[in-house]
Amino acid sequence: MSAQPLHYLVHEPAGPVTHPRKALFLLHGYGSNAQDLFGLAKPLKLDAVVFSLQAPYDLAGQGFAWYAIHFDEQQGKWSDDQQALSSVEQIDQMITQLIEEYHLDPEELHLGGFSQGAILSYALAFQKKGRFRSIAGLSGYINERITPLGPMEINVFASHGTQDQVIPFSWAESIQQQLNLEGCTLKFCAYPTGHSLCMENFEDLIQWMRHYIGSVASTSKPS
């Protein structure tokens, strides 16, 4: 039985509608909601429909999560990988539904996520190899327990704060070795910030997305 459709927000580019259309799917972090990353949709000025999906697990008034994070004496802080895998399937089902509803180009699908959303973006892209053209992973890392790494043609933007106290910078640095695979084109950026998106990070993200996804504004190729 399929899970309930995920709540989402949508931003469509200005101008005449052509079909099929490119699409970017944004996944928020733990304790947040669909409104969080949706604020990026308009300033990105992408030639794509931007969807911000909301995680399925309600944190009792504290936002939503893609999977639980537990704390105990034996294991310390640990993630519920089974819930994460379930969320990956729900996201994939939702994307399939949105492709049909919005007449999206199945060859031009892109992912972007912050923290937990970044972790699931990597997992989804590698579980469904060839389904996505790019990943923008912000302040996240690759959980190899749910991410079947292997050669795949994909463009990746990974960014992280060197002072991040939620997800250690060293975890993000490992992405450079993990994605040293045939077909992966990686741009890795570090900023002197914590678990957040600074203005320089945002500007680099805009430039990268406009190049690899397409823009309604003229931009130059990222370095």
Superfamily, domain 8-212: Alpha/Beta hydrolase fold, catalytic domain (3.40.50.1820)
Around Cβ 133, how many Cβ atoms within 10 Å?
19
Report d(CA 49, CA 13) in Å as an integer: 6
Q: What is the pLDDT of residue 8?
A: 98
Name the strand (E) or helix (H) holding 15: none
Question: pTM of the prediction?
Answer: 0.92
- Give Cα 70 to chain centroid, integer Å: 22
Q: What is the pLDDT of residue 4?
A: 79
Residues in the chain with pLDDT < 70? Answer: 1-3, 70-78, 217-223
Q: What is the pLDDT of residue 103?
A: 93
Is the alpha carbon torsion for 76, 82, 83, 87 positive or negative? Answer: positive
DSSP strands (E only) in the chain = 8-11, 21-27, 49-53, 57-58, 64-65, 69-72, 76-79, 104-114, 134-138, 154-161, 184-191
Helix spans in the chain (H): 34-38, 41-44, 81-101, 116-127, 169-173, 175-178, 199-212
Q: What is the pLDDT of residue 218?
A: 46
